[in-house]
Chains A and B, each alone.
With several copies, the nearest count.
Chain A
């Protein structure tokens, strides 16, 4: 096993990987930009090195600086997490050239899957089912022909794309030209590659993905599916495992195709094969993500496996410790991605200081967090604060448990999307698992029904009590504390219970 692993990432995923390293007796090395000096992943790691200014391009995407840090501390492997350099083949190559193991697939597998068109060609040879459309980049003229042939509505997608960037829906021929050009320029901006292609639109599809895992000795397994249909602007918001829509038979068929896909790419380590599934349970290959997914915990909870431990073992040359037949699913898991964004204000990011943090816990509750009370969430990166994941015997209980956990969760000082999850989890369609990739946009289009509250008076009285204590009149100010003293003691409140308690002594 490795002696020392550098984590080329930040936030909750860096912390999660550091935890795995500690559990495997590997010393962990964090890297950080100037605004992340006090970040949780830095304080949790055994070692930490600065890699440049706030902008990701100058730090977390800065390959020379990261490799320099790795050489300096003598790391024998690098885990890229997700995002940033995780799917960058050049980085993977640079690592192996530097004699440092890149924890993930080979650069060539990443390159193959990185180009949607090349991937499609390879997968078609392997007999993988596809959404009807063009297998390669198109000119506007070609696109017009293909669209006419497969029939509208169609989707335009960026070849180098991902996360919805460079994607456009085209309902009719006259919309094609503007959408095509918009997609091209967006793709150019996002990926420095304007190539786009075209696909038939699947009506109300589900986004369901299969987790695969391969060692470096030719063994490949699939670990069941994840239901990722709850998306906002093609960004996943809630994920589940298993999918209420997938039965044993479909799971096996999708799993076997996913393994074929991985085989065709000579894939190693953890990867995810994404499918569109239509209402008749036909499934179509979308793309393969050649990294650990944000939503990997739901798979961990239902399989009882630790994917990051397995990534490290596989990269260290170990064989998979189990066979496909050993993989059993237990219960149901749901993940909510907690973002610093304001759902009441068109999801604008809300960086800033976390003034109070109350975290849920108890039965079946897992929190993978990258923040702490008193920390200032920087403006510079993706606003994912933490992932709240629950595990329960069945889906209905998992939903109830997530609601309970959300009620225990409080993040003060910044806005978060916690209230959005409550709306989703209470929505009859979600509860009935009637979800497709359009579900959340439909939900958001409808104004949240404001319930009349019974607690107005309690709120009013409480506000007055806070004010009374905050006002100088009663001496002292709420929030000031004598040295070392915790809040309750120094606040102006007479805690009736305690006062009486003493009297009884």
Chain B
């Protein structure tokens, strides 16, 4: 099975296949000798030429991360054969830009009602959690095309709150 994996903006073509009790891997066409064992849910022990890596996966609504030791990598994995593909919420993309909640919280104020024009960096709405207010800014110049929430609404991290076109 071949995946297109993006790690910190760099794209790898990764082929993985079972071989006996373990796995056989190729990366960008090259042989990648590894020994892998599952430890817990979302946690692997990967050994490559004697080096030992404890690898964790963390998936939130906002993003998927791969954690190796103290390093955290933003990851996107695409299966060319399927349309199921996880993309980082804040990743680039054509068309209207989305404004997503960086944390769970409560919508305190709407600063720019739907339909109005905004400039890049201008606050669109304010959410609050743990007594801290977070003004969410427009990613680009344009118009607030859509507001998915009203004042007082409880939102989850990664939830799309508004779209700017």
Interface residues of A (CB under 8 A from B): 30, 37-38, 42-49, 72-73, 340, 342, 345, 348-352, 355-356, 372-375, 379-383, 406-407, 410, 412-413, 415, 419, 422, 453, 455-468, 471, 473-474, 478-479, 481, 484, 486-488, 491-497, 499-500, 502, 505
The DSSP consensus for interface residues of chain B is strand
Contacting residues, chain A, for B46 (C-beta < 8 A): 458, 461-462
| C-alpha gap A97/B103 in the complex (Å) | 44
A43 pairs with B42, CB closer than 8 A: no
Distance in Å: Cβ of A248 to nearest Cβ of chain B: 37
A348 pairs with B103, CB closer than 8 A: yes
Given contacts A356-B43, A455-B73, A461-B27, 16 further A-B contacts (CB under 8 A): A348-B129, A349-B105, A352-B157, A374-B39, A379-B129, A379-B130, A380-B130, A412-B42, A457-B12, A459-B71, A461-B16, A463-B5, A464-B25, A471-B79, A484-B42, A496-B21
Please name the residue on chain B nearest to A502 by beta carbon.
B154
B38 pairs with A493, CB closer than 8 A: yes
A463 pairs with B103, CB closer than 8 A: no
Contacting residues, chain A, for B103 (C-beta < 8 A): 342, 348-352, 415
B3 pairs with A487, CB closer than 8 A: no
A468 pairs with B3, CB closer than 8 A: yes
Mask, B89-120, CB within 8 Å of A = 1, is: 00000000000001111100000000000000
Contacting residues, chain B, for A453 (C-beta < 8 A): 8, 71, 73
Contacting residues, chain A, for B37 (C-beta < 8 A): 37-38, 493, 495-497
Please name the residue on chain A nearest to B127 by beta carbon.
A348
B47 pairs with A48, CB closer than 8 A: yes
B57 pairs with A43, CB closer than 8 A: no
Which of B43, B69, B84 has most chain A Cβ within 10 Å? B43
Please name the residue on chain B nearest to A27 by beta carbon.
B51
Contacting residues, chain A, for B27 (C-beta < 8 A): 457, 460-461
A464 pairs with B132, CB closer than 8 A: no
Question: Given A351-B129, A461-B46, A462-B66, do A500 and B21 touch, yes or no (CB 8 Å)?
Answer: yes
| C-alpha gap A121/B16 in the complex (Å) | 64
A349 pairs with B130, CB closer than 8 A: yes
Question: Given A356-B58, A456-B73, A499-B21, do A505 and B106 touch, yes or no (CB 8 Å)?
Answer: yes
B21 pairs with A46, CB closer than 8 A: no
Contacting residues, chain A, for B154 (C-beta < 8 A): 502, 505
Distance in Å: Cβ of A180 to nearest Cβ of chain B: 24
Question: Given A72-B50, A496-B35, do A38 and B57 touch, yes or no (CB 8 Å)?
Answer: no
| C-alpha gap A48/B69 in the complex (Å) | 15
Contacting residues, chain B, for A49 (C-beta < 8 A): 50
Contacting residues, chain B, for A463 (C-beta < 8 A): 3, 5, 7, 14, 57, 64, 66, 73, 75, 77
A464 pairs with B14, CB closer than 8 A: yes
Interface residues of B (CB under 8 A from A): 1, 3, 5, 7-8, 10, 12, 14-16, 18, 20-23, 25, 27, 32, 34-48, 50-60, 64, 66-73, 75, 77, 79, 82, 84, 102-106, 129-130, 132, 134, 154, 156-157
B59 pairs with A484, CB closer than 8 A: yes
| C-alpha gap A356/B56 in the complex (Å) | 10
Query: Contacting A383 at CB < 8 Å: which of B10, B43, B53, B130?
Result: B130
Nearest 3 Cβ contacts at the A-B interface: A493-B38, A349-B130, A487-B41
Please name the residue on chain A nearest to B36 by beta carbon.
A465
| C-alpha gap A45/B45 in the complex (Å) | 11
Question: Can you give 7 contacting A-B residue pairs, CB < 8 Å?
Answer: A38-B37, A48-B52, A352-B104, A415-B103, A457-B32, A460-B12, A466-B57
Contacting residues, chain B, for A348 (C-beta < 8 A): 102-103, 129, 132, 134
Which of B12, B20, B38 has most chain A Cβ within 10 Å? B38
| C-alpha gap A356/B50 in the complex (Å) | 27
Question: Given A47-B51, A348-B102, A352-B103, do A464 and B40 touch, yes or no (CB 8 Å)?
Answer: no
| C-alpha gap A370/B64 in the complex (Å) | 26
A410 pairs with B21, CB closer than 8 A: no
Contacting residues, chain A, for B66 (C-beta < 8 A): 459, 462-463, 466
| C-alpha gap A154/B97 in the complex (Å) | 45
B52 pairs with A43, CB closer than 8 A: yes
Contacting residues, chain A, for B130 (C-beta < 8 A): 340, 349, 351, 379-383
B8 pairs with A458, CB closer than 8 A: no
Contacting residues, chain A, for B5 (C-beta < 8 A): 460-461, 463-464
| C-alpha gap A352/B155 in the complex (Å) | 11
Contacting residues, chain B, for A505 (C-beta < 8 A): 106, 154
A459 pairs with B68, CB closer than 8 A: yes
Which of B10, B16, B41, B69 has most chain A Cβ within 10 Å? B41
Contacting residues, chain A, for B72 (C-beta < 8 A): 419
| C-alpha gap A26/B127 in the complex (Å) | 43
Contacting residues, chain B, for A462 (C-beta < 8 A): 44, 46, 53, 55, 57, 66, 68
B36 pairs with A493, CB closer than 8 A: yes
Query: Contacting A412 at CB < 8 Å: which of B36, B58, B106?
Result: B58
| C-alpha gap A456/B23 in the complex (Å) | 19
Contacting residues, chain A, for B50 (C-beta < 8 A): 47-49, 72-73
| C-alpha gap A38/B40 in the complex (Å) | 10
Which of A348, A374, A473, A478 has most chain B Cβ within 10 Å? A348
Please name the residue on chain B nearest to A493 by beta carbon.
B38
Contacting residues, chain A, for B18 (C-beta < 8 A): 474, 494
Distance in Å: Cβ of B153 to nearest Cβ of chain A: 10
Query: Contacting B52 at CB < 8 Å: which of A47, A372, A413, A468?
Result: A47
Query: Contacting B25 at CB < 8 Å: which of A30, A380, A456, A461?
Result: A461
Distance in Å: Cβ of B17 to nearest Cβ of chain A: 9
Contacting residues, chain A, for B44 (C-beta < 8 A): 462, 465-466, 493
Query: Contacting B1 at CB < 8 Å: which of A42, A46, A459, A468?
Result: A468
| C-alpha gap A458/B47 in the complex (Å) | 9
| C-alpha gap A226/B36 in the complex (Å) | 42
| C-alpha gap A460/B63 in the complex (Å) | 15
| C-alpha gap A340/B60 in the complex (Å) | 15
